[in-house]
Amino acid sequence: MGNWFSKLLGSNEPEILTEDIKAFNNKGNNRQSDKQRQAESGEGIDIMGMDMGVTGLSSFNTFYNKFFDEQNKTNDDRIRKYRSMASMPEIGDVLEDAVNESTQENGDGNIFELHITNEKMSKNENIIKTLKEEFHSLFFQRLDMNQQGWELFYNFMRDGKVYYERIININKHKEGIKHIKFLSPFSMDYYFNYDTYRIEGYIQYMKPSHKKPATFEDAKRDNEIVAFIPEQIGYIPYRFGNNRNDVYGYLENCKVAFNQLKLLETSVIVYRLVRAPERFVFKIDVGNMPKDKALAYVNKIKRQMNRKQTYDPETGVLEGTTNVNCIRQNTEIKLLDGRCLPLTDIIDEFNQGKENWVYSINQKTFKMEPNKITNAAITRKNEELVRIHLDDGSYFDTTHDHKWIMRDGSERRADELNVYDSLMPLNEDLPDVVNHKVAKIEYLTERDDTGCITVENNHNFAITFNLSDGSKSQVYVKNSILDNLFIPQSDNRGSDVTTIGGNSAGFTELDDVEYFAKKLYRSLKYPMSRIDNQMDSRSGDNLFGGASFSEITRDEIKWSRFLERQQNKFCLEFLDLFLLHLEFKGLKKQYGLTRDDLNILMSPPSNYKDQQNQQLLETRFNNYTALSNESEFSKSYLMKKYLDMDEEAIKENSESMKADKKLFPKDEDNF
């Protein structure tokens, strides 16, 4: 809770602590007076903090106190998604390239260096020596930034944010920053003041799912929270969303392309390995059995033979288990004969050979169509369940992967539904005014057996739930499709197994996969010139790194500039860290240092700037050489125009030429 800063403020040497450090416990108020802040605040309201439909700061704070817990959960889910995406080889390679190129070592073997921009200080050798020694001692001896810098930058590019704690020896604070500690983004949060436009303080939750206190002062009193004043924490966000607590990462813009590519790759594998173009037709000899016994016998054979392989896209494992989307066994299904039977009863009637029909909907025309049940069975035992609550008070229990029919005819898994999503209703007696929107999604701790039915044609059916007023809530869900066909035959030909074909020619080419892979790379801003020519016909023959500037592709320059912008965020953060270190050492006050006096630069991610400068220099020199021997032109004029030399440089060059004649006298025989 900022204890080591508090101890410093109570020390016997307050002269070391300038206004910057004294302001730690004052939340920045004495850095700028209220009168000055008001004079410079303007008349508008920050739209980044005010785009939630509120009209004032007090109203926004009230709204935000209700909003941020949900938002924090969203941020955590976002980071989990980013980390899942980073496991894809295409994205993982781009991340590694970005970090490797951004943390290249310079000629001294370090990933960044200190520049003194204050002209007066840059001429003082003692100041230069002291600052550079402190810089090297802090970043490359204590913090080992040549190693830790890579990890910091990688976490930033992957997660979209990075937190670390600045650690000192509270008993020897004059020694400055001792080391840093990486902090999990899942456990960190902060309070941003939209009046002062500063972070008031950071907090770290000691327990998951802890509710965020309304204010930073409340957080300080919470025993399950560690509170930090702003200067204790280093924080680098990628970019902000709706407000300063809503942070998006580098991978945000490629979510769609990632999902499309992953879905397409999975569908190709599933189609080739699981849902092969050919399906089996089992013709079962039932002899002279009565119809009901014949159907029961066929269903028995079906349960024995139907072992469907499944593919797990997360692990890449092909398994021989049943992959059937399921609803809870007590779920009621509406039948065309007017009955609403639980799934277990429908399974019993199906096994007895009874033919039942259900309500089904054409997902293109939105018209209700009757469909026959072709299979019904319990498919999973003791399964995890998710409960979908609707806005009319009803709820339905299903497996996480069961698909529901949306109001627009699309399909969505239960674990992908969101609050306010509209489901497709069955309104046979009521006017089409019921919303059937998702009100809540609840992941149950209890388990139960689940099953499903298979219906013809539309492959969906209506389930129902009785409401307290006597009415029924009815929505459509997807059925489970069993590919193999089981047909009874009694013409004394015996049982046999044949196949019905499909056309797999559409899956012999991978053009679609390559298209979405290229789309993914573009969303990551990655240079397409690095992608193999076979994958991208735009690649051309120009290669990056040639001797000529014309051989640098435009997307390489864009990529380098993008990385430079990310490097700049780290350079500004490291500059603040270095100034804080100098503050504790007493050197910031001694030299009167500010942010404007120093600069930290990382090695550029590519040499395209050097190549540009070299090309420009060659052009200027060629122009100068072509005209310097012409009597119509003055050499000093040409030096200014083509060599970009000023009067002082020309004079220095002339004096150097005179010195050369004395130092290197030429033999007259050489003339």
Q: What is the pLDDT of residue 431?
A: 43
CB burial of 107-135 (b: ≥16 within 10 Å; e: otherwise) equals eeebbbbbebebeebeeeeebeebbeebb
Please tell me the chain's helix, strand, coil percentages from 3-state DSSP, rounded to the nearest 5: 40, 25, 35
Per the structure block, which two tokens stand in for 186? Answer: 């899942």
Low-confidence ranges of the chain (pLDDT < 70): 1-73, 269-282, 300-325, 427-435, 480-509, 532-552, 606-613, 615, 666-671
pLDDT score of 490: 65
Indicate the fold that domain 307-483 takes in CATH. Endonuclease - Pi-scei; Chain A, domain 1 (2.170.16)
What pLDDT shows up at residue 613? Answer: 67
660: exposed, middle or buried (Cβ count in 10 Å: 0-12, 13-18, 19+): exposed
List the one residue out of 305, 265, 268 whose CA is nearest residue 284. Answer: 305
Tokens of 56: 């004032």
Q: What confidence tens digit (pLDDT) does each residue in 247-263 have?
A: 999 999 999 888 888 87
pLDDT at 610: 61
d(CA 539, CA 518): 11
Cα Rg for the chain, rounded, in angstroms?
35
pLDDT of residue 545: 41
Residue type, 105: E
What is the distance between the alpha carbons of residues 557 and 562, in angstroms, rounded to a whole number? 9
Local structure of residue 304 (DSSP, 8 states): H
- Kindly list the domain boundaries of the chain, sorted by start residue: 1-87+161-248, 95-159+524-605, 307-483, 608-670
**Pairing relation of β-strands 112-116 and 460-466?**
unpaired
**Which residues touch 146 (CB under 8 Å, ≥6 apart)?**
105, 109, 110, 111, 140
281-to-225, 374, 404 alpha-carbon distances in Å: 63, 15, 29
First and final C-alpha spacing in the chain = 80
Distance between CA atoms of residues 41 and 603, nearest Å: 37
* The pair of three-digit structure tokens given for residue 324, joined into one six-digit string: 């059937």
What pLDDT sits at residue 259?
86
Predicted confidence (pLDDT) per residue in 269-302, tens digit: 666 655 554 555 667 777 778 877 777 777 766 6
Q: How far is CA 321 from CA 151, 274, 324, 382, in A?
A: 40, 11, 9, 15
Nearest Cα to 183, choosing from 166, 197, 195? 166
Please give the DSSP secondary-structure letter assigned to residue 666. Answer: P
Can you list the alpha helix ranges (DSSP code H) found in 164-290?
A: 216-220, 255-269
- Give the C-alpha separation, 371 to 89, whole Å: 44
The alpha carbon of residue 410 and the mean position of all alpha carbons in its chain are separated, in whole angstroms, by 25
Q: What is the pLDDT of residue 210?
A: 80
